[in-house]
Chain A
Amino acid sequence: MGTLTEEIFSRRLGRHVAAGDTVVADVDCALAHDVTGPLAIEAFRQLDSPVWDASRVVFTFDHVMPANTVAAAELHRTIREFCAEHGVTNVFAEGICHQVLVEKGFAQPGGIIVGADSHSTTYGALGCFATGLGSTDIGVVFATGRTWFRVPETIRVEVNGEPRIGVYAKDVALHVIRRLGADGADYCAVEWAGDTVAAMGMDERLTLCNLSVDFGAKAGLIEPDGVTRAYAGDTVGDVHPRDADYAITLAVDAASIRPQVSVHPAIDNVRNIDDVAGTPLDEVFIGSCTNGRLSDLALAASLLFGRQVDPRTRTVIVPSSRKVYLDALEAGYIETFVRAGALVLNPGCGPCLGRQHGVVASGENVLSTSNRNYPGRMGSPDARIFLASPAVAAASALCGAITDPARVV
């Protein structure tokens, strides 16, 4: 018996484990990307060991892809050389790690995944325990296939009710962050549950689990169901919470949530859209591991179709993976974006981290569908970053200012 997290660890360890226990556990998959990977490789090399299982190691080029400086190109070369030397063939330059890893089937219900990126919590949408670690931890996993965990307590977030038009998973997550605070789930796992979550497709579930780390959670998880099986295949294993003790159970009435906007400089500085509507925008970014998936692009395209973005607002759209890009092409979304005057970039992290295209200047306002608005995140520390759903982002791009999507539909 236990929470989803306790069930997963108990099964892995072959004995009952509970929150608070410290365990050393085998992992199913370890990920690193072009910025955290080279430090992980450095740590791994110090152990003078072969790779534990090359088929379970995944590298992505996404944070600075294609390389925009010699320094970035050198990091990419370090990874390519490592993978060639150790027979690692899961090397992908086709989008954001968190989307690609899920698309390639590495995330399975009941599994344990670690990644050298904080948003590795994303995979929990498929009912696995997935968490972000630093490069040294991941380097040790490359050599040993294992790491230590303190099995976390769980906060259960029960979301029920029909969301209003213009309210999505992003708004639900920002609403929860507003209530719990930026460190409200520190050292805890978060189980997302309730009718509203059950009705969400995989894209929206990935958004919820992605944002779990942004209020401190070690993992975000959703109990596998029909949606999970439809996405990951009927043959996948099952795992469920049973008679679990939760640290906190938070009830959320989805019907009462307005579109939410997180206002610079902190993720938990969340307002209803009415409080910030009209704020002029210099840039809008639609993409990222939070909201760059096909349903996000479909939503943006439905608002941008046949319209023009405001010429004062640079609008940058980045599909989260090559698959998403191709699907969006086929559906006509990419043409809609280009005709609307948006700039469509290659799959990857895009402007989210201010390392490559879409960097913002001092004094500018940017609205992003990503997950972080710390000072300096997207460029100048004197730029103001607003976080919201793709619907708010697209409506705002059309008006050149923060706009309730209900006003555009």
Chain B
Amino acid sequence: MARVYKLGDGVSTDTIMPGRYNVTTDRDALRRGCLIEARPAFVETVRPGDVIVAGRNFGCGSSREHAPLAIKQNGIAAVIAASFARIFYRNAVNIGLPVIRCEELADAVDDGDAVVVDTRSGVIEARGQMFRGEPPSGVALQIMEAGSLLDLIKSRGWKSLEESHVS
């Protein structure tokens, strides 16, 4: 069972990983900086496999990849949001952090709720209900299946994407 860390609408990368804490590439420093001001207890209480559930425009603002990295370093199994800001979504996929779009979930669950999330299908079970979220598709799915963008490029270069998706 995953536990829910619930956040609101418009959570920016400045909230996930404040600019004052990301002047580093050290993964443990990034882990400790995750949500440090918005949810100071997060890094102390989070357990591997927990999920973040949020509202609209999650990850808006800066392109800093430190934000999804910080979330991943804390062992979060998936971020489920009503919608994602473009760069955050792409960055999360690139580093293999599962992201699922689901309009209804944030309104249906509370902080600490137990949920079951299938990151492949996007199906989420919460409060005895099933929610059909939207996992990555197209190029993003290919990257997730490879593990990360670097894994995909290392094994196949751009070729597979050109062949399968270029219309």
Contacts and interface: CB of A to CB of B under 8 A. Distances in A.
Contacts of A375: 14-15, 37-38
A12 B162 CA distance: 15
A216 B85 CA distance: 7
A374 interface: yes
Nearest to A149: B139
A112 B22 CA distance: 28
Interface residues of A, number: 55
B157 A183 contact: no
B158 A24 contact: yes
Interface stretch (A35-43, A86-94, A230-238, A294-302): A35-43
A39 B86 contact: no
Contact of A137 (B14, B19, B149): B149
Interface string B132-165: 0000001100000000111001100110011001
A134 B56 contact: no
B23 A372 contact: no
A369 B66 CA distance: 25
Contact of B56 (A75, A78, A115, A183): A183
Contacts of B150: 43, 46-47, 136, 139-140
Contacts of A216: 57, 60, 85-86
B94 interface: yes
A21 B38 contact: no
Nearest to B153: A140
Contact of A38 (B25, B158, B167): B25
B83 interface: yes
For the complex of A and B, 8 pairs with smallest distance between CB atoms: A134-B91, A353-B19, A134-B65, A374-B12, A183-B57, A22-B165, A374-B14, A118-B63
Interface of B: 10, 12, 14-15, 18-20, 22-25, 37-38, 56-57, 60-66, 68-69, 83, 85-87, 90-91, 94-95, 138-139, 148-150, 153-154, 157-158, 161-162, 165-167
Interface of A: 17, 21-24, 35-36, 38-39, 42-43, 46-47, 64, 69, 71-72, 75, 78, 115-118, 120, 132-137, 139-140, 143-144, 146, 148, 150, 182-183, 186-187, 216, 218, 266, 353-355, 359, 372, 374-377, 379, 381
